[in-house]
């Protein structure tokens, strides 16, 4: 069954019968006011005039064309073809061939920016040991030029999980300091090739989550782990995430130094780093759980942001990891400090935290690499928020304000972008097309999270943009999950893009014509 845009518009009007419509109240400046116990509402005019609204994707998740035009095998190509994966990104959304139509869809929504990543294996099939692939450069030039033609700002991530398999085979990728040289070489090619038009750069997407999933839990390539975190052929879950993180951070810092010194003066752009940022709340009011919640932030977002802003690891991480944690030299501390012009926040959910230093926890909670803490979505039999399609991820809108305010205070209100925020539909396999397209829950999610974001901005947080994850349903990393975050439904067989209600809502929101939708 196919639904066209007029049909979806009819759905949009139908759902108004099932929601409360609230009158907007404001303080005279067009900013909505709501108390914690009130249902929030939101309008585009609640945000500053220069605030960027966009959508986001990543290369492996949407491009497909995995061996076309000189591209080499990436780590994800190899991993997803292994026996442990049910799907792969060989075709994904075929964005490689359908990007012009996708950009037209973006333009029809009215977004001001599009965040995407560059496939390392498409630009440098053999890393710095081979030639630059001109077809790869041409592809991203076409994307950038057509975005600009439509008035959409390109917001580019240099490394979003995938890298040439040759670098894994040659070095063991991020476990080897040589990867720093590889990344700097790759980043410099990107700055030279695209920096005259790209004004927003992200070096590495979510180093904190990447290190955990690839080197602690083993569910991302190169699939390294050890007991009790998993049963992999190789790896040391207590040590390898620390090494990989250190190399990624130094690669970021050196690339940022290169950009600030050699490219930013002429190109006039900015460079940042993104973190996967849960908000952490103590399971109880005990001092130990409160300290554990603070420690949880330090062991995730802080592990990335403290070195990138202050030049060194958080004291909490140093204290618990001790001599296992590498040391930044004085020279490294100097170029790492203030190496970012903005912080990218990928925020989806909030969770409770329990201390494990003075109470019994699971085998994984009782480990230094986890900061001797455990997370849970349940307290006294009550979930922290509504379940989503991803285990451990809940709908907790207040977390958006809380995480932004925490980062604002800890990092002296460094400029921020919400580089990812989105809703994964649960029970996708049990739903019909009409249900998937009629995604009222996704609209509710964005409305509420945006309302709390606007509140944090009103209270002084320097947040400059928001990117909905994701522009369209795409290949998702978690094996065995049919997870759909997209504003556009993508038929897995025909690759037809169908705007969901959320795409229609976003369009209306961006033109200040969206009706506040609160269930």
Residues known to be catalytic: 206, 420
With tokens 């309008």, the residue in question is: 43
Q: Rounded to 5, what percent of the chain is helix, strand, coil?
A: 45, 15, 40
Extended strands (E) in 23-145? 52-56, 113-117
Q: Are 89 and 64 in contact (CB under 8 A)?
A: yes
With tokens 């908000």, the residue in question is: 279
Of 219, 223, 275, 216, whose CA–CA distance to 241 is shortest?
216
- Phi (first) and psi of residue 384, to 5 degrees: -65, -25
For residue 25, what are the CA distances in angstroms to 28, 36, 42, 217, 519? Answer: 9, 15, 10, 47, 18
* Dist CA 82 CA 88 (whole Å): 9
With tokens 């409305």, the residue in question is: 447
Of 123, 148, 238, 165, whose CA–CA distance to 199 is shortest?
148
* Dist CA 42 CA 34 (whole Å): 10
Q: Specify the length of the chain in residues.
A: 519
> What contacts 24+ positions apart, CB below 8 Å, involve 217-226?
219/478, 219/479, 220/79, 220/161, 220/477, 221/75, 221/76, 221/78, 221/79, 221/168, 222/75, 222/79, 222/168, 222/172, 222/173, 223/79, 223/82, 223/84
* Dist CA 48 CA 255 (whole Å): 31
Of 389, 302, 379, 382, whose CA–CA distance to 345 is shortest?
302
Neighbouring CB atoms inside 10 A of 176's CB total 17
Beta-ladder partners of 156: 116, 201
* Dist CA 366 CA 193 (whole Å): 47
Map residue 499 onto helix, strand or coil: strand
The distance of Cα 391 from the centroid of its chain, to the nearest Å, equals 17
Contacts of 498 (CB under 8 A, 6+ apart): 2, 3, 8, 437, 488, 489, 490, 491
* Dist CA 150 CA 155 (whole Å): 14
The two tokens of residue 234 are 């190789």
The two tokens of residue 51 are 């605030």
* Dist CA 428 CA 89 (whole Å): 19
């Amino acid at each position: 069954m196919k639904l066209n845009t007029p049909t979806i518009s009819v759905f949009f009007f139908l759902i108004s019968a099932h929601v409360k419509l609230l009158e907007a109240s404001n303080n005279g400046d067009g900013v909505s006011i709501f108390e914690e116990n009130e249902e929030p509402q939101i309008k585009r005019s609640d945000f500053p005039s220069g605030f960027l609204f966009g959508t986001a994707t990543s290369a492996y998740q949407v491009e497909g064309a995995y061996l076309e035009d000189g591209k080499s095998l990436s780590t994800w190509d190899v991993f997803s073809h292994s026996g442990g994966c049910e799907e792969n990104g060989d075709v994904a959304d075929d964005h490689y061939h359908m990007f012009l139509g996708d950009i037209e869809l973006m333009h029809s929504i009215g977004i001001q920016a599009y965040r995407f990543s560059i496939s390392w294996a498409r630009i440098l099939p053999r890393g710095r040991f081979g030639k630059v692939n001109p077809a790869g450069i041409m592809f991203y030039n076409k994307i950038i030029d057509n975005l600009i033609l439509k008035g959409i700002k390109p917001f580019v991530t240099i490394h979003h999980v995938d890298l040439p398999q040759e670098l894994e085979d040659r070095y063991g990728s991020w476990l080897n300091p040589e990867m720093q040289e590889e990344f700097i070489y790759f980043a410099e090619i990107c700055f030279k090739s695209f920096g005259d038009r790209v004004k927003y750069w992200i070096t590495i997407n979510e180093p904190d989550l990447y290190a955990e999933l690839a080197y602690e839990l083993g569910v991302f390539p190169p699939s390294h782990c050890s007991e009790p975190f998993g049963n992999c052929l190789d790896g040391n879950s207590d040590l390898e995430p620390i090494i990989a993180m250190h190399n990624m951070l130094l690669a970021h810092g050196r690339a940022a130094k290169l950009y600030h010194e050699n490219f930013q003066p002429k190109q006039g752009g900015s460079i940042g780093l993104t973190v996967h940022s849960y908000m952490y709340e103590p399971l109880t009011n005990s001092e130990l759980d409160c300290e554990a919640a603070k420690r949880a932030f330090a062991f995730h977002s802080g592990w990335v942001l403290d070195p990138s802003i202050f030049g060194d690891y958080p004291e909490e991480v140093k204290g618990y990891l001790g001599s296992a944690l590498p040391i930044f030299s004085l020279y490294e501390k100097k170029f790492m400090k203030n190496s970012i012009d903005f912080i990218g926040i990928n925020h989806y959910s909030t969770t409770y935290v329990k201390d494990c230093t003075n109470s019994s926890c699971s085998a994984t909670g009782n480990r230094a690499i986890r900061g001797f803490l455990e997370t849970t979505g349940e307290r006294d039999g009550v979930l922290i928020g509504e379940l989503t399609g991803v285990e451990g991820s809940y709908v907790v809108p207040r977390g958006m304000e809380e995480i932004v305010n925490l980062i604002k205070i800890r990092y002296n209100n460094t400029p921020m972008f919400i580089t990812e925020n989105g809703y994964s539909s649960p029970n996708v396999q049990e739903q019909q097309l009409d249900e998937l397209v009629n995604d009222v829950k996704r609209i509710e999610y964005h409305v509420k999270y945006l309302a709390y974001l606007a509140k944090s901005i009103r209270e002084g947080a320097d947040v400059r943009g928001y990117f909905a994850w994701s522009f369209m349903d795409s290949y998702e990393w978690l094996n065995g999950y049919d997870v759909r975050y997209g504003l556009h439904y993508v038929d897995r067989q025909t690759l037809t893009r169908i705007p969901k209600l959320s795409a229609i809502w976003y369009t209306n929101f961006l033109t200040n014509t969206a009706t506040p939708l609160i269930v």
